[in-house]
Amino acid sequence: MVLGVRVSARTWPTRMRQPRSGVLCTVEDDRNRSENRHIGNADEAGKVGTPSHAPFTVTLMPRTYAKNLVHCVYGTKNCVNLIREPQRVLNMTREIARNISIDIIAIGGVDNHIHLLMTLPPARAMANVVRDLKANSSQILRRENRMFRWQDGYAAISVSPSAVRNVVRYIEHQAKHHHARSFQDEYIAMLERAGIAYDARYVWE
């Protein structure tokens, strides 16, 4: 659809602007157009024709609406208790996530693993996000303990918006949960509850 808006051709250069409506308008300077030339016709311009030097080309910009909530869990290599200061590692991981534009809704963990509830942007791959979180935190932790390693894999399970409150509560009370249950039992139970196939020989590598 063409808009009948008059623009002075003397001083207006070619430019683009993004209005709040989400419609991208390109303004073209056309000094050679006739003063009496109309933009479009009566049907296209709502029965109104207005002379103009510079037509507006209107292009609708698509919008993506998505909310991908993911409960992600990963631990240390072979579940060894290598996290000496869990709260420090949680704070570090949250900061790394912020730096790579990942929103962490909740984070918790103990001395051999961490849980994260995150919002995954549509254009981001989960594998790349976890890689960045692990690599950056591991680089720091290995300066203090050369033996530190994260496990190669991870668990990532989608979460319904209606279940967020329960998942947040579960993540924030990790220390309490693991008084009576090991990380290994918790991890396997999560995989089985989500219907994820696994090979027990390689889970902890």
* pLDDT tens digit sequence for 27-82: 444 444 444 444 444 444 444 444 555 565 666 667 888 999 999 999 999 999 99
Torsion sign over Cα 124, 126, 129, 132? negative
Residue ranges covered by each domain of the chain: 1-63, 68-193
Quick check: 77 and 205 in contact, CB under 8 A? yes
* Segments in the chain forming alpha helices (H): 86-99, 126-144, 164-172, 174-177, 183-193
What is the longest distance spanned by two Cα atoms in the chain? 84
CA atoms within 13 A on the CB side of 85: 10
Quick check: 11 and 58 in contact, CB under 8 A? no
Residue 190, Cβ neighbours under 10 Å: how many?
15
* pLDDT tens digit sequence for 106-117: 999 999 999 999
Domain 68-193 CATH assignment equals 3.30.70.1290 = yes
Rg (CA), the chain: 28
* pLDDT tens digit sequence for 87-140: 999 999 999 999 999 999 999 999 999 999 999 999 999 999 999 999 999 999
Supply φ then ψ for residue 156, to 5 degrees: -140, 115
What predicted TM-score, i.e. pTM, was given to this entire model? Answer: 0.69
